[in-house]
Amino acid sequence: MTYLFFYWKLLDTQKSKNKNYLGDKMENKELFEKVKDEAGNILTNVAQKTEYLAKSSTLKLTKGSHKASIKTHFKNIGRYVYENQDKYKDNAFIKEQLEHINQLEAKIEEIKEKLEGLKKEQIEKNRAEAE
C-alpha cells in the first residue's frame, strides 16, 4: 500500500511539473505498468508472510500440544508414585515430597471442615431471620 501511495504522489508531482503529463498516454502506461508490477510484488510478499505465519502458528500449536502431553505424563508418573508409596519409601526425595503432600491434604481437610462450619452457621442465621 505504501508503494501505491508513493506512485500516486509521483504521479501528482509529475502533473504539477508538466500540465500535459496526463495527456501523454505512453508515460501513463509506463507508470501504470510500474504500479502494477509493484502491486504484484506487494501481494507476493503478503502471500509469503501469510504462509510463514500459518506454518509457524501450526508448529507453535503442535509444540503446545506436546508440552501439555508431557505434563499429563508427569502427572501420571506422580500419581503412580503416590498410589504406590510403599515401593518408594526408601527414596528420601520421594518420601519428603509425600510428607509435604500429606501435610497439604491435612490442611485441605481442615479448610473443608471450616467451610462446612461456615455453611451451617449461615443456614442457622437464615433460619433465625426467617422466624
Domain extents for the chain? Answer: 1-83, 89-131
Provide the grid cell at 37.
508490477
Give the three-state DSSP class for 126: helix
What is the pLDDT of the chain when averaged over all its residues?
82
Q: How much is the average pLDDT of 13-24? A: 52
Q: What is residue 26's predicted lDDT score, i.e. its pLDDT? A: 58
Asked if 15 and 8 touch (Cβ cutoff 8 Å), the reply is: no
Q: pTM above the 0.85 mark?
A: no
Q: How confident is the model over 65-106, as pLDDT tens digits? A: 999 999 999 999 989 988 998 888 889 998 898 899 999 999
- Please write the tens of the pLDDT for every residue from 22-39: 445 557 778 778 888 888
Residue 24 has what pLDDT?
56
**Rg (the chain; Cα; Å):** 36
Residue 128 three-state SS: helix
Dihedral sign of CA atoms 90, 96, 101, 107 in order: positive
Long-range contacts of 29-37, Cβ-Cβ distance < 8 Å, separation of 24 or more: 31/7, 34/7, 35/3, 35/4, 35/7
